[in-house]
Amino acid sequence: MTATTSRPKIAVVGYGSQGRAHALNLRDSGFDVTVGLRPGGPTELKAKADGFTVKTPAEAVAEAELVSVLTPDMVQPQLYRDVIEPNIKQGACLLFAHGFNVHYGQITPRADLDVVLVAPKGPGALVRREYEIGRGVPSVYAVHQDKTGRAEEFALTYCGGIGGARQNAIKTTFKEETETDLFGEQAVLCGGATKLVQAGWETLVEAGYQPEVAYYECLHELKLIVDLFYEGGVTRMHEFISETAQYGALTRGTYIVDDHTKAQMRKVLTEIQDGTFARQWIAEYAAGNANYKALKQGDLEHPIEAVGKKLRANMKWLDNAPKTPAAAQAAPAATQGERQEEAA
């Protein structure tokens, strides 16, 4: 296949949070984009309303020089086996937004393909919004397989098309992207933060403090600190919190995150590196997700959720706040937090 690296014909398979953002940004950057979706699926009408040509995944893949796979992790192996591998052109470029399946051997791409990764470090809604105002969400990119000698060009061209190259695009590997992404989610961003908030709230309530006051102190105000982190790191936080808060944080923070916490984080990382987590999650999904659903329901039914729902009903400013990706999209939940894409 002879492809034009500067403007490859692209098939975007999946049209959830990331899929829609990538497709719209690429089209606005001048690329010929076709969206591959199941006929009659929940996002087919949405993609058509956005003005895209929508074809079956097999048809879209067969016509493309670059195929962007933006469906949930757990459906990708079957999608690749049944749809992509039999239809993708010789010498085409296969692109992922997360390295999970390639890194853990659930997908072994055909030897004739270029295989790359482009992962924006933000949810789809932000990827689109930043592109529209002339900026871009920073991205990482990687090359797993370079059959044509132009795989890195394809990755950077795609990264530029979605706006990621407007910032500093960082070269990584499928291994590094996958393992650090999973670790961040499990130890800090989702798993660690959730359990820290819940434990803090429980500690105050069990000590006799009002659940509503505990909610404000342990969950609601977390946004203020995270916003400061986001804007300027720990340095900015210290610039804006009181000296009392600083002293308490500096002298008591290690009560909570100590050597034992670090040891547990290393355990989390080891289970990611040696494949234990991947094997458990793949087996859980194959068995019907009973344990996953039960654990998730436990989070949803935690008492702090009922308190928060009541308090947020009086926070009228939330009605006009920009919607998060989860609220803005009707896509089903998927394996990765911001990769909530519709299965093709």
Does the annotation place 209 within a ligand binding site?
no
- Which is it for strands 170-171 and 53-55: parallel, antiparallel or unpaired? unpaired
**Among the options 98, 103, 220, 260, which is catalytic?**
98
The rounded distance, in Å, linking the Cα atoms of 196 and 233 is 20
Does the annotation place 15 within a ligand binding site?
yes
Does the annotation place 41 within a ligand binding site?
no
Q: For the chain, how long is the longest CA-to-CA vector? A: 70
Does the annotation place 19 within a ligand binding site?
no
3 and 65 Cβ atoms separated by less than 8 Å:
yes
- Per the listing, tokens 């002879």 go with 2
Q: Is the CA virtual torsion 97, 12, 80, 155 positive or negative?
A: negative
Does the annotation place 18 within a ligand binding site?
yes
112 and 147 Cβ atoms separated by less than 8 Å:
yes
**Which residues is 93 bridged to in the sheet?**
66, 114
Geometric angle at alpha carbon 314, from 313 and 317, rounded to 5°: 100
Residue 103 annotated among the catalytic residues of the structure: no
Does the annotation place 198 within a ligand binding site?
no
Does the annotation place 38 within a ligand binding site?
yes
Does the annotation place 280 within a ligand binding site?
no
Geometric angle at alpha carbon 69, from 63 and 72, rounded to 5°: 145
The rounded distance, in Å, linking the Cα atoms of 110 and 95 is 13
Does the annotation place 29 within a ligand binding site?
no
Distances (CA, A) of 53 to 35, 145, 184, 216: 6, 29, 36, 47
| Residue 135 neighbours by CB distance under 10 Å | 11
* Six-digit token string for 341: 């894409």
Does the annotation place 124 within a ligand binding site?
yes
Positions at the binding site for substrate: 242
Positions at the binding site for Mg(2+): 181, 185, 217, 221
Active-site amino acid positions: 98
Positions at the binding site for NADP(+): 15-18, 38, 43, 124
Positions at the binding site: 15-18, 38, 43, 124, 181, 185, 217, 221, 242
